[in-house]
Amino acid sequence: MALVNGEEFHHLVRVSRKRVGELIYLFDGTGKIYTARIVKIGGDSAECEIIEENFMRGELDVEIAVGQAILKSHERFEFALEKLTEIGVRQIIPILTERVIVSKNPKDISPNKIERWRKIILSACKQSNRAIIPELFEPIKFDEFVSLEKYEKKIIFHESEVENFNRIFLHDYIKSLRNVKSVLLAIGPEGGFSDGEVEKAIEFGFDVVSLGCRRLRSETASVVSAGVIAQFFISETKDSQVWKK
Ligand code: SAH
């Protein structure tokens, strides 16, 4: 038996107008999704009978983390959060780089703002049938970001007029991700990464990858790079389970 209360109860009964007897999906945010039937609706909670339990339904076989520079435009940054969640990214790391305009100091990003970001991620999660809620890191500085160690592959996306780094197109690079279990992506702010930052990332084991000769907006680059990599890992057997019911 599971009890739905609080905001989710409101959503279930007042917004989605579910009734006793109807089937719903419940998720615990850590990988499990349950098919459940509503058996009783009270004043502030609903009792549900669990019918089936699935593990990691709606999740990719690869752990994709995105370091997204904080953008001047709140809307564009929030767009990136929502879309990265839908795509299947596991961790989102807001980064403060040299050319980030809002601030250089993680402490300047208010807890209210981070709370708002969490809500956007949670609702995108529900909308997209994900079993795991992507982890939203506290904003960190670029130096701290590049030294994150747990990822097998690390990629910094960079476009610049000058061919000064040994860049490779994602199209060619992606083959090297076969069988990789975790990958960290870095996407710069409106003004891009500085050469110094790209050099630093290389020092820390990042590969420099290009998405082509068009200059994409930061949130577009974020969604395209994570999206293309996610598609590369979609396994037919696993993903088809999601749509069976
Ligand atoms: N450096 C640019 C614009 C940066 S675009 C300038 O000021 O002229 C913002 C971010 O999106 C970049 O830092 C990079 O991470 C990513 N990006 C945009 N277009 C890209 C491309 N064609 N290839 C790789 N990364 C790209």
In whole angstroms, what is the distance from residue 40 CA to residue 48 CA? 7
The pLDDT of residue 165 is 73
Strands, sheet with 45-55, edge to edge from the N-terminal-most edge strand: 2-5, 45-55, 32-41, 23-27
Tokens, residue 160: 């610049």
Mutation to probe ligand 1, out of 146, 163, 168, 216 (largest number of atoms < 8 A from CB)? 216
Query: What pLDDT, on a 0 to 100 scale, did the predictor assign at position 245?
Result: 45
Nearest to 90 by CA among 196, 229, 209: 229
pLDDT string in tens for the chain (245-residue length): 999 999 899 999 999 999 999 999 998 888 888 999 999 999 999 999 999 998 877 889 999 999 999 999 999 999 999 999 999 999 999 999 999 999 889 999 999 999 999 999 999 998 898 989 999 999 999 999 999 999 999 999 998 766 667 789 999 999 999 999 999 999 999 999 999 999 999 999 999 999 998 999 999 999 999 999 999 998 655 665 555 54
Instruction: Tell me how far the alpha carbon of residue 171 lies from the centroid of ligand 1, in angstroms.
Output: 16
**Cα gap 218→70, rounded to integer Å:** 10
90, 137 in Cβ contact below 8 A?
no
Instruction: Enumerate residues 6+ apart whose C-beta is below 8 A from 226.
Output: 64, 66, 84, 87, 89, 185
Ligand 1 neighbours (beta carbon < 6 A): 157-160, 187-188, 191-193, 210-212, 214-216, 218, 221
The CA 214 to ligand 1 mean position distance, Å, reads 9
pTM greater than 0.75: yes
- What's the 222 CA to ligand 1 centre distance in angstroms? 10
